Every structure is written in structure tokens, then in C-alpha cells.
């Protein structure tokens, strides 16, 4: 009998966000596949979970994926987790899910924390139609072109950004979306969580003065060509 792959969301910061179903799943499966075994072991130790772990990340996904598929074929149950949040979102886990499903294994989502949904819920920006972009291109020209394409979709846009790129990204957003009010969510669910809503120029000033630290999720309202504010 083919085993089951559980896609388990884990906290993005606050450990109290690990739900009882996720905790029970992590305790009951035969193996946990995770990005960083050290980070996952720290989480498991906090809740007294002794399930074995193995690494599954961008640079070993092909080799390790084959091993995990063999275990599923043997009837084993595996939990797939990421370092924080929901697997398969800006994460190589989607490939294992695709291959497990193709091999006939049951795939069961165990939903929970997600920076995308947390940021949207607190942004005060319409989310009936939105696109999640992940990380924008690193090169300035490609970043601008991608933002213009996203603007033309006429949807709310959600991005991830790293501290060392945040200011450049805000500059580009200002060029494309003008005075539209953008929401920047920093360190969501953590001790120093901060959610700031302002136009890109004001956000630039804010983070230049306060410093850029932590993990960032940006929410941009749908906007019109020419950089005018979004119309809700």
C-alpha cells in the first residue's frame, strides 16, 4: 500500500501558531522531510517530538526526492515541512508533492501559518484578487519590468523581500506604482513585528531612519498605468 505525504505548515515566528493537527501529524509520521534539519529539530524539541528528520532542499531535491518516493512506495508516511510557513510556497516542496501524486501516493495538506495570508489579512487592501510574486528579479531593469507587468494585471500584489534588497525594491515600486499606499509587514508574528502602510517614498525614509532588519512581506494595491494609486 502506498504511503501518505503530509504537507505541514509550521510557525513563521510565534511557536504558539503550531496547531494541534500539525503537531499530531509530526508525532505520528515515520519521517519528517525539512529544509534545515537543525531548525526543524529545534521546533520539534520545543514540543517533545522525537520523529526522525531528513533534509530536503533546493540543492538535494532530486536525489533526496527519489529516496522519499521509495519510502512512500513502501507504505511509509512522511511529513513535508519548510523552515517557516507553508511548504511549496517559494519552496522546492512543490516538486516532491507533484512526484508523490504522480506515483500514486496520497497527499494531505495540513494548513497553518503563511506569511502571504498573514500580511494580506492585516494590510487593509482588497484581496479578492491577488497574485503572489515571491521575490522580484535581482537586476534593476528586470525588476522594473516585472513590476510594470504586475501593475498591468490589475490585482493586489504580494512580494517577499530580503533586508539587503528592500530599499532598492521600494525605489522601484515608487517608480511604477507612484503614490499608492503599500503595506510592509516585517517579522510577522515575532517579537518585533511591524506593519507599516505608506507610499514607497515614505517607506524608504522610514526604513532608512530605522534600519532594515528582519524578513519582509510587501502588499501593493492594484494600480493603474502611470503610477496612480490603486482604485478599490
* pLDDT exceeds 70 at position 53: yes
Q: Which of residues 79, 110, 141 is at a domain's end?
A: 110
- What CATH code is carried by the domain that includes residue 100? 3.40.1010.10
Residue 92 and residue 137 in one domain: no
Reduce the DSSP state of residue 72 to 3 states and report it.
Answer: helix
Model pLDDT, residue 65: 95
Residues 213, 146 within the same domain = yes
Same domain, 106 and 135: no
Question: How confident is residue 72, by pLDDT bands cut at 50, 70 and 90?
Answer: very high
Domain boundary among 110, 133, 153: 110
Residue 231, domain member (yes or no)? no
Q: Is residue 229 part of a domain?
A: no
Residues 198, 119 share a domain: yes
Percent of the chain with pLDDT over 90: 92
183: nearest Cα among 175, 171, 194, 195: 195
**Whether residue 18 has pLDDT greater than 90:** yes
Task: Report the predicted TM-score, pTM, of the whole model to 2 decimal places.
Answer: 0.90
Burial 102-117 (b: 16+ CB within 10 A, else e): eeebeeeebebbbbbb
**Residue 230, domain member (yes or no):** no
Q: Which domain holds residue 94?
A: 4-110
Whether residues 206 and 129 fall in one domain: yes
Average pLDDT (167-175) is: 97
- Is residue 126 a part of any domain in this protein? yes
| Contact assessment for residue 120 and residue 127, using Cβ atoms and an 8 Å cutoff | yes
Examine the domain organization and report whether 119 and 216 are in the same domain.
yes
Model confidence band, residue 90 (pLDDT cutoffs 50, 70, 90): confident
pLDDT of 117 reads: 96
Q: CA-CA distance, 149 to 3, in Å (whole number)? A: 42
- Report if residue 225 sits inside a domain: no
Residue 228 has pLDDT above 80, yes or no: no
Q: Check whether 230 has a pLDDT greater than 90.
A: no
Q: Which has the higher per-residue pLDDT, 207 or 92? A: 207
Q: What is the pLDDT of residue 227?
A: 40
Q: What is the model's pLDDT at position 79? A: 98
Residues 103, 124, single domain; the answer is no
Can you give the pLDDT at residue 91?
87
494531505: which residue's cell? 108
186 and 144 both lie in a single domain: yes
201 shares its domain with 151 = yes
Q: Are 33 and 93 found together in one domain? A: yes
Residue 172 lies in a domain: yes
Number of domains in the chain: 2
CATH number at residue 168: 3.30.950.10
Which of these three, 110, 133, 151, is where a domain ends?
110
Strand partners, 217: 160, 185
Does the pLDDT at position 229 exceed 60?
no
Evaluate if residue 225 carries a pLDDT over 50: no
What pLDDT does 60 receive? 94
- Residue 231's pLDDT band, with cuts at 50, 70 and 90, is very low
- Residue 226, pLDDT > 50, answer no
Check whether residue 121 and residue 106 sit in a common domain. Answer: no
Q: Residues of the chain with pLDDT > 70: what percent?
A: 96
| Structure confidence at residue 232 (pLDDT) | 31
SS3 track for 91-147: CCHHHHHHHHHHCCCEEEEECCCCHHHHHHHHHCCCCCCEEEEEECCCCHHHHHHHH
Same domain, 101 and 121: no
Q: Across all residues in the chain, what is the average pLDDT?
A: 94
Amino acid at each position: 500500500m502506498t504511503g501518505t505525504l503530509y504537507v505541514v505548515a509550521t510557525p513563521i515566528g510565534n511557536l504558539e501558531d503550531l496547531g494541534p493537527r500539525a503537531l499530531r501529524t509530526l508525532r505520528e509520521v515515520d519521517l519528517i522531510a525539512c529544509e534545515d534539519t537543525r531548525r526543524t529539530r529545534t521546533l520539534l524539541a520545543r514540543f517533545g517530538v522525537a520523529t526522525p528528520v531528513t533534509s530536503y532542499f533546493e540543492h538535494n531535491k532530486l536525489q533526496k526526492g527519489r529516496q522519499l518516493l521509495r519510502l512512500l512506495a513502501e507504505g511509509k508516511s512522511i511529513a513535508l515541512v519548510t523552515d517557516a510557513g507553508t511548504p511549496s510556497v517559494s519552496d522546492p516542496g512543490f516538486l516532491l508533492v507533484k512526484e508523490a501524486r504522480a506515483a500514486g501516493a496520497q497527499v494531505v495538506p495540513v494548513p497553518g501559518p503563511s506569511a502571504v495570508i498573514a500580511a494580506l489579512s492585516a494590510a487593509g487592501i482588497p484581496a479578492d484578487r491577488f497574485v503572489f510574486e515571491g521575490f522580484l528579479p535581482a537586476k534593476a531593469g528586470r525588476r522594473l519590468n516585472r513590476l510594470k507587468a504586475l501593475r498591468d494585471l490589475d490585482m493586489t500584489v504580494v512580494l517577499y523581500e530580503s533586508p539587503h534588497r528592500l530599499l532598492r525594491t521600494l525605489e522601484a515600486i515608487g517608480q511604477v506604482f507612484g503614490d499608492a499606499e503599500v503595506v510592509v509587514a516585517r517579522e510577522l508574528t515575532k517579537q518585533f513585528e511591524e506593519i507599516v502602510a505608506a507610499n514607497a517614498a515614505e517607506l524608504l525614509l522610514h526604513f532608512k531612519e530605522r534600519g532594515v532588519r528582519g524578513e519582509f512581506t510587501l502588499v501593493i494595491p492594484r494600480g493603474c498605468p502611470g503610477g496612480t494609486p490603486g482604485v478599490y
